[in-house]
Amino acid sequence: MGLPRSPSAWTIAVFGFLAFALGLVGLIWPDVLLSMLGFEVLAVRQAGDYTKVYMAASSMAAVNMGVYYMLAAASNWTPFFRWTVPFRLVTFTVFTLLVVTGAAPGKFFGVGLWEGLGAVITGFALWREGRLLPASDRRPSATV
């Protein structure tokens, strides 16, 4: 393991680092992250309001995800890079729909955009490297 060795690995490493860093922000300063996402920050929380618990859980997930993205990048685990592309596009779609339907504030679209652009950039890097598809799918078919 070491530094990422390809453009696609670098896209994964950068995403991982950002997820890790923003996860730490959410763990240490949840109100800051809520504000960044466009959610109202309440001075006093009512009994039964589990916003801070949810922020801690999702932030811890972001920290973990950031670490495994950075480890995948450092080990140049190309299949992982490929798997992230469609799943991040699904995340883009879901987060965008939350904003479009009014379930989330407009600033939350930035999260969806981050996922969607990241997926496209990683997919493009894999395509440029000739690694978008597994090796078995890239072999020319036999002709008769």
Rg of the chain in Å (alpha carbons): 18
Whole-number Cα distances in Å, 91 to 12, 55, 111, 136: 16, 18, 9, 28
Cβ(74)–Cβ(2) under 8 Å?
yes
| Ordered per-residue pLDDT tens for the chain, 144 residues | 788 889 999 999 999 999 999 999 999 999 999 999 888 888 888 888 888 898 999 999 999 999 999 999 999 999 999 999 999 999 999 999 999 999 999 999 999 999 999 999 999 999 999 887 777 555 455 555
